[in-house]
Amino acid sequence: MTVGPSAFMALAALLFCIGLFGALSKKSAVMVLMCLELMTNGVNLNLVAISRFVTPESLAGQFTAAFIMVVAAAEIGLGLALVLALYRRTRTIELDRLDELKG
Amino acid sequence: MPESIAAIPFIILAAATLLGAAMVVLTRNVVHAAFWVLEVMMAVAGLFMLLSAGFLALVQVMVYAGAVTVLLIFTVMLTLRDREDAIRSRDLSWAAGGIALATLVAAGTAIVSFAPPIPKLPAVTPGVAEFGRLLFSGWALPFEIASVILLIALVGAVWWSGGER
Amino acid sequence: MSYVVLIPLLPALAFAVMVVMSNRIRNSALWVSIGAMAGSLALSLYAFTRVWPGGEEPVWSSTFALADIGGKPLEIGMRLDGISAIMLLVVTIVGLCVQVYSLGYMHKDRRKGWYFAVLSLFSAAMLMLVLAGDFLLLYMSWEIMGLCSFLLIGFWHEQAGPRAAAIKAFLTTRVGDVGFAIGLAVMWATAHTFSIHEVSVFEWARYPAAALAVALLLFFGAMGKSAQVPLHVWLPDAMAGPTPASALIHAATMVAAGVYLVIRAMPIFEEASAAGLHTVMIIGVTTALVGGLLAVVQYDIKKILAYSTISQLGFMFVALGTGNTVAALFHLVTHAFFKSLLFLGAGVIIHATHTQDIREMGGLRKAMPWTTGVFTVGALALAGLPGLSGFFSKDEILVSILHVEGDLYSMGVRWLLIGLMLFAAGLTAFYMTRLWIRVFGDNACSLAHEGHLNMLVPMVVLASITVVIGWTQPVFMQFLGEHGAWPDPLMAGLSVAVFAVGVGGGYLIYGRQLLDRDKLRGRFYRLYGALKNGFYFDWTYNGFIVRPFFIVAEWLSTFDAQRIDGAVNGVASGWSRLSDTMWVGDVKIIDGAVNGLGRLVTRSGARMRKLQGGRVQSYQRLAYAGLIAILVVIALAAWLTNVVVPMLRGA
């Protein structure tokens, strides 16, 4: 069996969907952020795989993935700082309890 | 550049990735979940290596496995009042499952219909040197912007963590 | 030759000037009208000299193109020939006499100015009629004359009698005018011209049906204007107008217009089938007899003269029925003079005795010698005394019957007709004698006074003409292009005999009272009744036309009041009921709907509010679900375009 782009893309899709499942169901803010990271990794994997199989010279996918990592880092830093600030204020990170925007 | 990817490493690494991801979602212990995230990151790094993306594999380890996971564990610790709180309910939802499944189906159809042309692989695998060269030439602008983003994130994080003023 | 245009123009201008004046000023401006008439008379005399020695061809004509109808130019124009020259003289002489007479007759009337103005307009119209070179202009003048007749008959419109009489006259002549108009249409359709000259040379023989139609339709118009049976009913009623107006219009001129029309249209009659002329003949004879018979039983002096006019017009149409336009015109001329004279005389008598009923008059020959004199001249002329004008012209008509051509006119038929006409002439003599004896005869002492000078002088003028004009017969005939001749001795003899019988009978019955008239009336009550009721013409018209008309009008009025007004009111009440219903509907339904909408919004808002849980996870799931939906749509579209459509096309 040859491992072609389809295999990597399927893997990436699975990773992404597992992460999506977790991000939408988890009630803990930190858990959600973790699952978001899974999703991001899935995307990165997809990009690099396609880059490798479709445009090997330009490394475009790799660069995109690199910059996505930068953004993901920034995001996780800010996100966790946000969660801590929220915890300090409301003593909870249960998303169900955070419903002050309830209409 | 190798013509094709070796199957066995791929299968191992793929299995590791998927197992880890499943455990992240299914485990009841938050701390365990964080460690499973670490596992997934490492597996993906291995996959990057398999795809001849050496530099990226390194960055993956450094940033994700290193910084991101550490931060996650820090936050978990800081928001736990005691050890028992780490265990919580599984928090799974059918709605989310449905959505995820739908997304998977959509992605699946896309993958099935995606038939990329078979390129002529370069004789020499583009390595870190090539990566660096392209980074500072073609991708220079995004590089600079990325720096700015990190700066903003740093400043923001510091401000938010500032506590009572 | 443009002076000819002035002849009708002067009276027209007089009218135009007088019509804009106020009543007071107009009453002092009568000389405008008289002056215009005098001017026209002078010009007519001049025109006559220019036309002399006459003939059949026009001396002068001019046309004016109005428009194009279907390629053919529509022209109107004027024409001066022998016939028109004679008519001009008749109209202007009688017209001027009447106007001068009216100065005295209408002296005390508050609106005499308007009277003179309308007289001027009438004169202008009549003069234009005789100068018309085409039937269209003739028709226009015809209509204006109808208007003036209406205005003059109804001059004293404060009273109901004149009002009704004016309407009756207008409507009856209008019936004829409709026929005239249709005849004009058929004329144009066939000959594409209205010109008298062109009509006379047109080959009517090629269109026999059209020719007969035109002839009969034009004659129908003439019947209305010239009071022929059965359209004669308006003329006796028209006596409600001022007597001098009756003299001018209903004796001399307007009623003669019908005769003039047929004279001008004779070329059509000649080429149409003989049925045309036969119709004219029959109507003429009938009218002559009806008029004469009805005149015998009248007590109103003016009505006697009116029926006499009807009868004499019948004579003229009999002449036309034989195709003899010269005889008809001759009688028209003589009749114009002595009949207007008689009417003016009647006016003086009425003025003096303050009554129109001959039973209330008597012995006037002693009180009003001049009037008696001129009136007698006129009466004798009408009756047909040899030497006076009436004798000559009536004789000509009888002669033309004798010499008429046509398959229908066997000797027997001719003598029958002559006999009927002689009977009519005898009647004329009889009723005039009756009138004379009742008015002038007897020895009743009358307090009447003689008429003013301005009333007598015109009468004397007319009487003089009456005496003389008969003797111009040969010249008259030559003037019109005919061979001049004296009266036929046979006919002359018969006429004299009839005259004598009529006068004698009248004298014996009314003078010597030889017959018990009451007993006669009793024995022949049906005949007398028929005569008194004008052979029931008015009764028929009233019953079958006028009353149904009013019944329909009444019904429509009630219909309007009940149904239509009812309908309108019904709509109004229905509308207010509808709005009440709608108000209820508004309250319940519309307000209900509005309130319901409000409640719906509130409830759905309450339900939708649950979406806004404030919980992040629900927001996320919704967002992703939306994204999936979009992806599905795009995929479906792509699948349809790329897979299904080619599949369908291929199949």
* Model pLDDT for residues C130-177, shown as the tens digit of each residue: 999 889 999 999 999 999 999 999 999 898 889 999 999 999 999 999
In single-letter form, the type of residue at position C127 comes to L
What's the confidence (pLDDT) of residue B164? 56
Shortest CA gap B96–chain C (Å): 7
> Taking the alpha carbons of A81, A82, A88, A94 in that order, is the dihedral positive or negative?
negative
Nearest CA to B80 out of B46, B119, B33, B117 is that of: B33
> C-chain residues within 8 Å CB-CB of B106?
628, 631-632, 635
d(CA C283, CA C289): 10
A75 contacts C593 by C-beta, under 8 angstroms: no
Nearest CA to C302 out of C266, C257, C353 is that of: C353
* Candidate from C611, C615, C620 with C-beta closest to A23: C620
- Quote the crossing angle between the two packed helices B7-26 and A5-25, to the nearest 10°: 10
Q: Mean pLDDT over all residues of chain C?
A: 86
* Model pLDDT for residues C62-100, shown as the tens digit of each residue: 877 777 766 677 878 888 888 899 999 999 999 999 999
Using pLDDT thresholds of 50, 70 and 90, give the confidence band for residue C382.
very high
In single-letter form, the type of residue at position C572 comes to A
d(CA C600, CA C339): 101
d(CA C646, CA C73): 75
> A-chain residues within 8 Å CB-CB of B101?
17
| Closest residue, chain C, to B92 (C-alpha) | C617
**Contact state of A95 with C615 under an 8 Å Cβ cutoff:** yes
- pTM score above 0.90: no
Shortest CA gap B11–chain A (Å): 9
* Model pLDDT for residues A21-34, shown as the tens digit of each residue: 999 999 999 999 99
* Candidate from C611, C615, C620 with C-beta closest to A96: C615
C78 contacts C4 by C-beta, under 8 angstroms: yes
B79 contacts A93 by C-beta, under 8 angstroms: yes
| Closest residue, chain A, to C619 (C-alpha) | A24
Residues in a beta bridge with C65: C75
Does residue C61 sit in helix, strand or coil?
strand
Does residue C154 sit in helix, strand or coil?
coil
d(CA C432, CA C186): 43
Q: Any idea what the Cα angle at residue C145 is, between residues C143 and C147, rounded to 5°?
A: 75
Nearest CA to C222 out of C236, C212, C232 is that of: C232
Residue C650 has pLDDT above 80, yes or no: no
> B-chain residues within 8 Å CB-CB of A87?
78-79
Nearest CA to C476 out of C620, C326, C593 is that of: C326
pLDDT, average across residues B85-103: 87
**Gyration radius of chain C over CA positions:** 38
> Which residue is associated with the tokens 């596992």?
B39
Does residue C367 sit in helix, strand or coil?
helix
C469 contacts C333 by C-beta, under 8 angstroms: yes
Shortest CA gap B102–chain C (Å): 7
**Residue of C620, C622, C627 best to disrupt the A interface, most CBs of A under 10 A:** C620
Does residue A94 sit in helix, strand or coil?
strand
Tokens of C399: 């002669």
Q: Mean pLDDT over all residues of chain B?
A: 88
The verdict on domain A5-90 having CATH code 1.10.3720.10 is: no
> A-chain residues within 8 Å CB-CB of C617?
24-27, 32, 95-96
Using pLDDT thresholds of 50, 70 and 90, give the confidence band for residue C209.
confident
Shortest CA gap C637–chain B (Å): 14
Which residues of A, range 74-93, sit inside 8 Å of B by Cβ? 74-78, 80-85, 87-88, 93
What's the confidence (pLDDT) of residue C445? 66
Look at B80-84, C37-41, C247-251, C626-630 and tell me which has the smallest mean pLDDT: B80-84
Q: What are phi and psi of A58, to 5 degrees?
A: -80, -20
Shortest CA gap B75–chain C (Å): 19
* Model pLDDT for residues C575-624, shown as the tens digit of each residue: 888 888 877 877 777 777 888 888 888 888 887 777 677 788 888 898 99
Shortest CA gap A29–chain C (Å): 10
> A-chain residues within 8 Å CB-CB of C613?
99, 102
B107 contacts B52 by C-beta, under 8 angstroms: no
Strands (E), C195-235: none
CATH of domain B1-88: 1.20.120.1200
* Candidate from A20, A23, A99 with C-beta closest to C615: A99
Q: What are phi and psi of C65, to 5 degrees?
A: -80, 130
Tokens of C199: 């009509």
What's the confidence (pLDDT) of residue B48? 94
Shortest CA gap B55–chain A (Å): 9
d(CA C126, CA C642): 97
* Host H or E run for residue C259: helix C254-271
d(CA C491, CA C496): 9
CB contact set of C279 (below 8 Å; sequence gap of 6+): C216, C219, C321
In single-letter form, the type of residue at position C642 comes to N
Using pLDDT thresholds of 50, 70 and 90, give the confidence band for residue C570.
confident
**Contact state of B72 with A30 under an 8 Å Cβ cutoff:** yes
* Candidate from C614, C617, C620 with C-beta closest to A101: C614
Tokens of C638: 């792509």
Nearest CA to C195 out of C278, C272, C125, C138 is that of: C138
* Candidate from C617, C621, C631 with C-beta closest to B106: C631
Look at B132-136, C241-245, C534-538 and tell me which has the smallest mean pLDDT: C534-538
pLDDT, average across residues B70-77: 92
Residue C1 has pLDDT above 60, yes or no: no
* Candidate from C621, C625, C635 with C-beta closest to B109: C635
**Contact state of B107 with A76 under an 8 Å Cβ cutoff:** no
C287 contacts C418 by C-beta, under 8 angstroms: no
**Residue of C619, C622, C624, C641 best to disrupt the B interface, most CBs of B under 10 A:** C624
C215 contacts C265 by C-beta, under 8 angstroms: yes
> C-chain residues within 8 Å CB-CB of B102?
628
Domain boundaries, chain B: 1-88, 127-165
In single-letter form, the type of residue at position C72 comes to K
User: Is residue C242 left, alpha or beta, with left meaning phi > 0 and alpha meaning psi from -120 to 50?
Assistant: beta
**Residue of A1, A6, A52, A86 best to disrupt the B interface, most CBs of B under 10 A:** A52
**Contact state of A25 with B101 under an 8 Å Cβ cutoff:** no
Residue B23 has pLDDT above 90, yes or no: yes
Does residue C404 sit in helix, strand or coil?
coil
- Quote the crossing angle between the two packed helices C274-296 and C254-271, to the nearest 10°: 150
CA C363 → CA C156, C297, C444, C448, C450, distances in Å?
30, 21, 5, 10, 13
d(CA C88, CA B53): 132
User: Is residue C536 left, alpha or beta, with left meaning phi > 0 and alpha meaning psi from -120 to 50?
Assistant: left
**Contact state of C624 with A98 under an 8 Å Cβ cutoff:** no
Tokens of C365: 């020959």
User: Is residue A67 left, alpha or beta, with left meaning phi > 0 and alpha meaning psi from -120 to 50?
Assistant: alpha
Residue C576's Cβ-side half-sphere holds a number of Cα atoms within 13 Å equal to: 5
Nearest CA to C36 out of C56, C5, C15, C54 is that of: C15
d(CA C343, CA C462): 11
Residues in a beta bridge with A3: B5
CA C362 → CA C353, C365, C446, C451, C575, distances in Å?
10, 8, 7, 16, 75
**Contact state of C615 with A20 under an 8 Å Cβ cutoff:** no
**Contact state of A99 with C613 under an 8 Å Cβ cutoff:** yes
d(CA C351, CA C215): 43
* Candidate from A20, A95, A103 with C-beta closest to C616: A95
**Contact state of C624 with A24 under an 8 Å Cβ cutoff:** yes
In single-letter form, the type of residue at position C352 comes to A
Which residues of B, range 64-123, sit inside 8 Å of C by Cβ? 93, 95-96, 99, 102-103, 106, 109
Shortest CA gap B100–chain C (Å): 9
CB contact set of C271 (below 8 Å; sequence gap of 6+): C203, C204, C205, C211
| Closest residue, chain A, to B69 (C-alpha) | A34
Tell me how crowded residue C382 is: count the other CB atoms within 10 A of its CB. Answer: 31
Shortest CA gap A57–chain C (Å): 31
Count of pairs with CB atoms under 8 A, one residue in A, one in C: 33
Q: Which DSSP symbol is given to B82?
A: S
**Contact state of B99 with C635 under an 8 Å Cβ cutoff:** no
d(CA B54, CA C76): 118
C316 contacts C328 by C-beta, under 8 angstroms: yes
* Furthest CA-CA distance within chain C: 142
Residues in a beta bridge with B152: none
Using pLDDT thresholds of 50, 70 and 90, give the confidence band for residue C446.
low
**Contact state of A25 with C617 under an 8 Å Cβ cutoff:** yes
Which residues of A, range 23-62, sit inside 8 Å of B by Cβ? 23-28, 30-31, 33-35, 37-38, 41, 44-45, 48-59, 62
Q: What are phi and psi of C408, to 5 degrees?
A: -70, -25
Q: What are phi and psi of C390, to 5 degrees?
A: -60, -35
Using pLDDT thresholds of 50, 70 and 90, give the confidence band for residue B30.
very high
In single-letter form, the type of residue at position C153 comes to I
